[in-house]
Amino acid sequence: MSLAFTRRLAAAAVLTAALLVPLAACGNDDDKKDSGSKATKSASDAPKADLTVLAAASLTDVFETAGKAYEESHPGTKVTFSFAGSQELAAQVNQGSPADVLVTADTKTMDGLEGETGTPAVIAKNRLVIATGKGNPEKIAGLKDLADSKLKVVLAAPEVPAGRYSEQILEKQNVEVKPVSQEPNVRAVLSKVELGEADAGLVYKTDAESAADKVDAVRIPDGQNAIASYPAATLKSSKHAEAAAAFVKWLSTPEAQKILRDAGFQQP
């Protein structure tokens, strides 16, 4: 083999290598583009919708916080809440009010809507306390004190979960209370005490904590108390079934559970 021929082969090899480098670089860019498009596609596959959530009145504060957290972690989704007594929410569902998710303060109300909802999941629990004016001016120490006819006691109406729980624990302790009013939801009970229109009222622990600057909470021993369970479920009439299911599932995640715990709710 001549020296000239050998040099030509070497030159050809160098040229070929030089041409392959940019091709390889292009291939890497294409891989990156493919990877980026897959990530974009994955993000776009996440359910996005404007969701309406019907929720028990006692969830007002914590769900406002949870809703913002959900929107931040799920761009493109907006969550709007409608708060009321669980019995009012059930009536709205039965009347066909447009909504996507239902969260009640008891399993009884949710079970009564079995044909209208998906499978419910309990996301939190709660218990009752006696709410009094700040400083507990009437020196209320327990349930038996609520029988004092001189006290203005307000309760939730019997058809409201908080009212039903209140009746249960008062009957169990043989305490007869004649409330000055029976309210349509537990937040209305709390408001009466906050405004000084009542000396005491039975509310959830989390309600009293949300107004700690205006009311005091007298603990009710576990043996005398009732536990409230909060089930969440999608509504079959929802036009955003996938997004609604994603929100209900999120309520059981560590992120959502921490928000609920921080607000005073108990583990499911």
**pLDDT greater than 90 at residue 144:** yes
Residue of higher predicted confidence among 163 and 26: 163
**CATH code of the domain made up of 126-224:** 3.40.190.10
What's domain 50-125+230-262's superfamily in CATH?
A: Periplasmic binding protein-like II (3.40.190.10)
pLDDT of the residue at 31: 46
> Containing H/E element for 84?
strand 78-84
**pLDDT greater than 90 at residue 112:** yes
- Residue 48's pLDDT band, with cuts at 50, 70 and 90, is confident
* Segment 66-77 mean pLDDT: 96
The CA distances from residue 29 to 19, 34, 39, 97, in Å, are: 16, 9, 15, 51
Lowest mean pLDDT among 35-39, 165-169, 257-261, 264-268: 35-39
pLDDT of the residue at 25: 43
Average pLDDT, the chain: 87
* Segment 155-159 mean pLDDT: 97
Reading the block at residue 52, the tokens are 């309406």
- Residue 200's pLDDT band, with cuts at 50, 70 and 90, is very high
Matching CATH topology for 50-125+230-262 and 126-224? Answer: yes
Residue of higher predicted confidence among 146 and 25: 146
**pLDDT greater than 70 at residue 12:** no
* Segment 199-215 mean pLDDT: 97
Tokens 């908080």 map to which residue? 162
Provide the residue ranges of all domains of the chain, joining segments of one domain with +.
1-30, 50-125+230-262, 126-224
Could you give the CA distance from residue 116 to residue 68 in angstroms, rounded to a whole number?
Answer: 27
Lowest mean pLDDT among 3-12, 71-80, 106-115, 139-148: 3-12
- Rounded percentage of the chain residues whose pLDDT exceeds 70: 83
